[in-house]
């Protein structure tokens, strides 16, 4: 993808294109933004710029280096993902540090893309800091993180921070509908609204069942209100079949819970289910349910047994 094709974030795109035009890329860059806002895409564009062999505008998108970069097979672009165990540990960071002093294989410079640096603990960040203090020549570091606040001040102060934001709903619908031309625009719009214009999250939800997940999330919430526990158990049971679908349902539940919290303090909400829940339960109870759902979403990211998870979820929603 070229910078001009990246959705929304006009300020960031302008700033970055000016930096590229002036060939004044800071040696360390932090890209911060919520999950699904395109941090890795921006990191990839910068990496492609660094290795591009064109004499004209970079990245050209067509030279051998650009193509290798796009296919993630360029030998001078190194990825380390904090989501993978020990990828950003102290030892791995030290290994990155020593390899950074070795000259590039074929490009004019080497690029290190450190993804999900939220997972990078302080000792590893300190090990990394040493290289930021005395950066080797012709090396570009790019870190991605949900919030730069999770990085040490010393790391932040030696880097340039770029912040990414979700797109406007209409822009998000426009982009997502091109990827899913067979899907109904109103369904895409519903999901984009739930995701607040976050394109990555909208795409993920569509891939994971979209409307079906939204329907089940509403059904689970409506079942909390019923006197019998059985309908809730039956709805929640549907989460045991597929972990990504369950995650999608819980994302929708998180949104409905947020609506319930708003309704409980007297704000107008569009969700009828949320309004009904707010009418029936106390503010404290709604806050507790909302927190439990947020917690449940995190638990789902671990390797929890789905059957046990569903039984537990049913009990916390009813308690
Ligand atoms: Zn190129």
pLDDT tens digit sequence for 9-44: 889 999 999 999 998 999 999 999 988 889 999 999
Ligand 1 centroid to residue 37 C-alpha, Å: 25
Each residue's pLDDT tens digit, 235-254:
999 888 878 788 888 988 98
**Are residues 293 and 253 in contact, defined by beta-carbon separation less than 8 angstroms?**
yes
What is the 173 CA–ligand 1 centroid distance (Å)? 30
CA of 45 to the centre of ligand 1 (A): 11
Q: How many angstroms separate the alpha carbon of residue 58 from the centre of ligand 1?
A: 6
Ligand 1 mean position, distance from CA 15 (Å) = 20
Other CB atoms within 10 Å distance of the CB of residue 136: 15
* Residue 196 CA to ligand 1 centre (angstroms): 34
Q: How many angstroms is it from 189 CA to the middle of ligand 1? A: 36
The C-alpha atoms of residue 282 and residue 274 are separated, in whole angstroms, by 13
**Arithmetic mean of pLDDT, 257-278:** 84
Cα–Cα distance for residue pair 28/143, rounded to 1 Å:
8
Please report which confidence band the pLDDT of residue 195 belongs to, taking 50, 70 and 90 as the band edges.
confident
Distance 2 CA to ligand 1 centre (A): 11
Q: What is the pLDDT of residues 152-186, one digit of tens each?
A: 999 999 999 999 998 888 988 998 898 888 888 88
The rounded Å distance from CA 128 to ligand 1 centre is 29
Residue 59, preceding bond cis, omega within 30 degrees? Answer: yes
State the CATH class of domain 208-318.
mainly alpha
Q: Please tell me the distance between residue 20's alpha carbon and the centre of ligand 1 in angstroms.
A: 13
Q: How far is residue 276 from each of residues 251, 291, 292, measured CA to CA in Å? A: 20, 19, 19
Residue found under tokens 């941090």: 39
Q: Say which residue, 167 or 69, is predicted with more confidence.
A: 69
CATH 3.40.50.300-classified regions of the chain: 3-163
CA of 95 to the centre of ligand 1 (A): 28
CATH fold group of domain 3-163? Rossmann fold (3.40.50)
C-alpha of residue 9 to centroid of ligand 1, in Å: 23
For residue 64, the CA-to-ligand 1 centroid distance in Å is 7
CA 67 to ligand 1 center in whole angstroms = 7
Measured at the alpha carbon of residue 152, what is the angle toward residues 150 and 154, in degrees to the nearest 5? 150
C-beta separation of 175 from 206 below 8 A = no
d(CA 285, CA 242): 29
- In this predicted model, what pLDDT tens digit does every residue of 92-136 receive, in sequence order? 999 999 999 999 999 999 999 999 999 899 999 999 999 999 888
Mode of pairing for the β-strands spanning 160-163 and 28-32: parallel
CA of 111 to the centre of ligand 1 (A): 15
264 CA to centre of ligand 1 in angstroms: 55
Q: How far is the CA of 180 from the centre of ligand 1 (A)?
A: 29
Ligand 1 mean position, distance from CA 72 (Å): 14
For residue 105, how far is its CA from the centre of ligand 1 (angstroms)? 16
Query: Cα dist. 147→31, 165, 207 in Å?
Result: 9, 12, 26
Separation of alpha carbons 13 and 167, rounded Å: 13
Report, as an integer, the average pLDDT of 174-202: 85
Compute, in angstroms, the gap from residue 211 CA to the centroid of ligand 1. 40
Position 248 scores a pLDDT of 83
Read off φ and ψ for residue 123, nearest 5 degrees.
-60, -40
Please say whether the beta carbons of 197 and 172 come within 8 A: yes
Position 79 pLDDT exceeds 90: yes
- Centre of ligand 1 to C-alpha 46, Å, is 12
CATH code 1.20.272 region(s) in the chain: 208-318
Q: What is the pTM of this model?
A: 0.69
């Amino acid at each position: 993808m070229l910078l001009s094709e990246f959705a929304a974030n006009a300020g960031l795109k302008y700033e970055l294109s000016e930096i590229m035009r002036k060939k004044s890329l800071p040696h360390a860059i932090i890209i911060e933004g919520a999950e699904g806002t395109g941090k890795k895409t921006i990191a990839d564009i910068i990496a492609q710029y660094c290795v591009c062999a064109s004499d004209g505008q970079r990245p050209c998108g067509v030279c051998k280096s650009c193509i290798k970069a796009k296919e993630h097979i360029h030998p001078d672009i190194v990825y380390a993902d904090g989501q993978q165990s020990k990828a950003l540990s102290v030892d791995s960071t030290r290994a990155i540090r020593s390899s950074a002093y070795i000259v590039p294989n074929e490009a004019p410079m080497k690029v290190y893309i450190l993804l999900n640096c939220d997972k990078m603990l302080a000792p590893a960040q300190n090990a990394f800091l040493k290289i930021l203090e005395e950066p080797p020549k012709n090396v570009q570091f790019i870190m991605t993180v949900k919030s730069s606040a999770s990085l040490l001040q010393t790391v932040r102060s030696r880097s340039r921070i770029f912040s990414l934001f979700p797109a406007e709903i209409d822009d998000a619908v426009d982009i997502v509908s091109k990827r899913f031309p067979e899907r109904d625009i109103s369904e895409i719009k519903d999901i984009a609204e739930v995701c607040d214009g976050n394109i990555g999250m909208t795409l993920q939800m569509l891939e994971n069942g979209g409307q079906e997940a939204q329907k089940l999330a509403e059904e689970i919430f409506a079942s909390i209100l019923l006197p019998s526990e059985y309908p809730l158990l039956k709805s929640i049971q549907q989460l045991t079949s597929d972990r990504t679908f369950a995650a999608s349902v819980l994302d929708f539940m998180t949104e409905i819970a947020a609506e319930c919290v708003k309704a409980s303090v007297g704000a107008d909400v569009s969700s009828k289910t949320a309004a009904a829940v707010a009418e029936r339960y106390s503010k404290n109870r709604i806050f507790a349910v909302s927190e439990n759902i947020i917690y449940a979403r995190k638990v789902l990211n671990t390797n929890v047994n789905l059957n046990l998870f569903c039984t537990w979820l049913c009990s916390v929603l009813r308690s």
